[in-house]
Amino acid sequence: MDLTFSETETAFRDELRGWLAENPPPPEPSEGGEDASYAWRRDWQRTLYDAGWAAPGWPVEYGGRGASLTESAIYFEEIGRARVPLPANVLGLLLGGPTLMVWGTDEQKDRFLAPILSAEEIWCQGFSEPDAGSDLAALKTRAVKDGDGWVVTGQKVWTSGAQHSKWCMLVARTDGEAAKHKGLTYFLMDMEQEAVQVRPLRQITGEAEFNELFIEEARIPDEHVVGGVGNGWKVALTTLMNERAGLGFALQVRLRQLLDDLFAAAAQRGLLEDPLVADRLADLHIRTEAIRLLAWKGLTDTERYGQPGPEGSLVKWQWSDTNQKLTQLAADIVGPEALTAGTHWSYELLRARGNSIEGGTTEVLKNIVAERVLGLPRLKAVA
Ligand SMILES: Cc1cc2nc3c(=O)[nH]c(=O)nc-3n(C[C@H](O)[C@H](O)[C@H](O)COP(=O)(O)OP(=O)(O)OC[C@H]3O[C@@H](n4cnc5c(N)ncnc54)[C@H](O)[C@@H]3O)c2cc1C
């Protein structure tokens, strides 16, 4: 990939940069807790939407700008550069929408895409279960055919943003007899029904970003099956690849920001001259640059195959590793502040622990890179 921007790409960047400078979001509310912060991010998405900047990479027919892959990457770089938050409906914009564009019927695209873009309807991802995380195909939530729809019963866990969501990308077992990966179906489940109970799970950071979902005979009509009955595994893979590649790009930008903050914190304390600190900062700088270039290279793969490839796993693995190293160095540099609840660095240090689990654990990503990127033989379990 040639990283020199064309005239059109430069014009795109300048237009966005100018717009962001003139339309910054108000400061994040300091009171009102998580709900107030969430409402602030939702309002920010609406502002982006009104100006046509909620998802420039979406095709024009679905309300985007039809931006090229390079322009979409510029979008994330500029959002990061301006230090404004990602839109609230990030799972809908980066995972759900793109999955529907590949697998959805025309009716589904008409019904669901516009409210994702405007943040009118928030989406969450109901994949993981208490006994099915890395081994997603082991999931037990059942969907049973009933008239012109399905009745779903089961439990999901770690469902981020479920408390704000209208729709859940839900993978459930529709055929108990078929082979593990074949008996699954991908549904869009309406969260606003009595049969779906959302219970928050509080994390080490103190916030409850994710939830348990208890589903007791929830109803899903036939027209909310995505990609056909029994095809859930393939549809879910599209969502997961978009998660690793799309979010990966946004996250590498965030990593750069955090590293800049850390350089500033080290400079403030006169630590840039300390050879041990300088060595660790240099290592983080090199890693961050490598991740940035890997993310850009991922765009070439998306261009070639039409969808993100398994290489996105490499970006996600390297990002989580580097973010954990970065926040650990931050704790060494800023000292007790990093261990004081409510401070910037304590939040980053604690939140980073989940990075090597969310969106695929590091061990699983290494397996994917070994087998599907490097073409190494599959490891056979020893009996
Ligand atoms: C902050 C956060 C947000 C999340 N948000 C969501 C969400 O919105 N929706 C959702 O569906 N899920 C979400 N998850 C869940 C996440 O996808 C799972 O936690 C993850 O896939 C791991 O599954 P598990 O927790 O069941 O661990 P397990 O799969 O039980 O893994 C346990 C350990 O075994 C290792 N392991 C497992 N299989 C292998 C293997 N084949 N080879 C080598 N090692 C292996 C793992 O690496 C790990 O160390 C979130 C998780 C976090 C931390």
d(CA 10, CA 18): 12
d(CA 36, CA 164): 12
Closest CA to 81 of 234, 199, 254: 254
Point out which residues pair with 123 in neighbouring strands: 167
Regarding whether 263 and 222 lie in a shared domain, the answer is no
Looking at residue 40, what is its pLDDT?
96
What distance in angstroms lies between residue 6's CA and the mean position of ligand 1's atoms?
A: 40
What distance in angstroms lies between residue 354's CA and the mean position of ligand 1's atoms?
A: 10
CATH number of the domain that residue 81 is part of? 1.10.540.10
Using most ligand atoms within 8 A of CB, pick from 123, 134, 319, 368 the residue to mutate for ligand 1. Answer: 134
Looking at residue 381, what is its pLDDT?
61
**Structural domain of residue 76, as residue ranges?**
7-88
What distance in angstroms lies between residue 315's CA and the mean position of ligand 1's atoms?
A: 17
171 is a domain residue = yes
Mean pLDDT by 10 residues, the chain (383 residues): 87 98 94 90 97 95 93 90 92 96 97 98 98 94 98 98 97 93 96 98 92 98 98 94 74 92 96 97 97 86 75 89 98 93 93 94 94 86 56
Using most ligand atoms within 8 A of CB, pick from 347, 357, 376 the residue to mutate for ligand 1. Answer: 357
Looking at residue 262, what is its pLDDT?
97
31 is a domain residue = yes
Looking at residue 188, what is its pLDDT?
98
Q: What is the DSSP letter of 128?
A: -
Q: Whose CA is nearest to atom 16 of ligand 1?
A: 358
Q: Whose CA is nearest to atom 3 of ligand 1?
A: 358
Model's pTM, two decimal places? 0.92
What distance in angstroms lies between residue 133's CA and the mean position of ligand 1's atoms?
A: 5
Regarding whether 71 and 175 lie in a shared domain, the answer is no
Rounded to whole angstroms, what are the CA distances from 154 to 127, 215, 217, 329? 11, 5, 8, 42
Cα-Cα-Cα-Cα dihedral sign, residues 69, 74, 80, 83: negative
114 is a domain residue = no
Orientation of helix 69-81 relative to helix 248-268, angle to 10°:
30
106 is a domain residue = no
Stretch (H or E) spanning 170: strand 167-173
Work out how many domains the chain is built from and give that number. Answer: 3
Q: Strands 167-173 and 123-126, how do they pair?
A: parallel
d(CA 155, CA 196): 10
Residues 6 or more apart whose Cβ sits within 8 Å of residue 218? 151, 152, 153, 189, 190, 193, 195, 196
Looking at residue 382, what is its pLDDT?
57
Residues with CB under 6 A from ligand 1: 124-128, 133-134, 158-160, 210, 354, 357-358, 360-361, 363-364, 367
364 is a domain residue = yes
